């Protein structure tokens, strides 16, 4: 099998929805500062899509692991199965537009083991809900009752970093910070205990993955962007953000751009800045000065 893109276009998804069985559609719309996305889902979604609440399904309760800790694998697998996902399912995840939230569901499904042998099983919709609507494709207000699936939890299929490993990688390798520049620089911090970034981390804002219309930039363009940030060769690469949500889109982007393969993905620091900044013993760097050894 040649390189398979983890991204699917609206046209290709429309074709797939006419096949039997069609892919499971997961509506993962969510916004850090609100408002809640469930009312949006109820007012219109892709036909057959089921809503997935990020805070309660795609994360465990906030605590020592950060604001959106990695879910317990058995609970997560059961939740996905309740939404109709089985070991043999094809799944397409979508959010409002740029894929930064849908990538969290993509990453968690891959972490559980879905798509280990065939990455075509789990994809993200290019352009999200907005892109689908912009093309004049059908939407629905009907809330489906999916037939429960059977999903085997095989956690660990995507690599993760703890705080110590993330700090070491930032100084000795490449650790990418997916947050907006003003948060990385320490100019503002609207959510977490302290401002700044992990010393040695490089800023790679997730917003640069897509254009103004929410569609992903071409793979070659993204590959050049990440090579300029030091992602070259087979050396380890990790990503983090505020709480481990939008950083999954960096992991996704590196695979989409061809810089990492499905069997050698970038690692995710799951606790991210929300965990790091809550520990007063861990340093916080500000500005653009180099902190690398």
Q: Which residues are known to be catalytic?
A: 241
Asked if 163 contacts 271 with a C-beta cutoff of 8 angstroms, the reply is yes
3 state SS for 142-166 = CCCCCCCCCCCCCCCCCCEECHHHH
Measure the CA angle with vertex 30, ends 241 and 5; round to 5°: 70
The upper half-sphere exposure of residue 264, i.e. CA atoms within 13 Å in the direction of its Cβ, equals 10
Residue 251 DSSP one-character state: H
Asked if 50 contacts 26 with a C-beta cutoff of 8 angstroms, the reply is yes
Q: How far apart are CA 207 and CA 218, in angstroms?
A: 14
Q: How far apart are CA 37 and CA 31, in angstroms?
A: 7
Specify the 3-state DSSP secondary structure of 266: coil
């Amino acid at each position: 099998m040649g390189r398979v893109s983890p991204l699917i276009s609206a046209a290709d998804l429309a074709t797939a929805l006419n096949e039997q069985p069609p892919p499971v559609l997961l509506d993962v719309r969510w916004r850090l500062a609100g408002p809640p996305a469930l009312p949006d889902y109820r007012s219109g979604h892709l036909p057959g899509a089921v809503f997935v609440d990020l805070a309660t399904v795609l994360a465990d309760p906030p605590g020592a692991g950060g604001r959106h800790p990695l879910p317990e694998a058995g609970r997560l697998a059961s939740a996905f199965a309740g939404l109709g996902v089985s070991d043999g399912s094809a799944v397409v995840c979508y959010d409002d537009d740029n894929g930064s939230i849908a990538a969290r569901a993509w990453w968690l499904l891959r972490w559980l083991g879905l798509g280990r042998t065939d990455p075509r099983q789990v994809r993200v919709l290019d352009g999200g809900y907005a892109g689908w609507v912009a093309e004049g494709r059908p939407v629905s207000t009907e809330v489906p009752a999916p037939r429960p699936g059977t999903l085997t939890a095989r956690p660990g299929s995507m690599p993760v970093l703890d705080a110590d490993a993330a700090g070491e990688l930032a100084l000795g390798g490449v650790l990418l910070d997916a947050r907006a520049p003003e948060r990385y620089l320490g100019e503002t911090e609207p959510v977490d205990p302290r401002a700044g970034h992990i010393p040695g981390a490089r800023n790679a804002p997730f917003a640069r993955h897509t254009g103004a219309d929410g569609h992903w930039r071409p793979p070659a363009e993204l590959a050049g962007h990440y090579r300029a940030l030091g992602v070259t060769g087979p050396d380890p690469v990790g990503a983090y953000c505020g709480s481990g949500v939008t950083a999954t889109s960096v992991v996704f982007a590196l695979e989409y751009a061809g810089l990492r393969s499905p069997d050698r993905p970038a690692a995710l620091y799951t606790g991210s800045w929300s965990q790091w900044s809550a520990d007063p013993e861990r340093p916080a760097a500000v500005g653009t000065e180099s902190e690398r050894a």
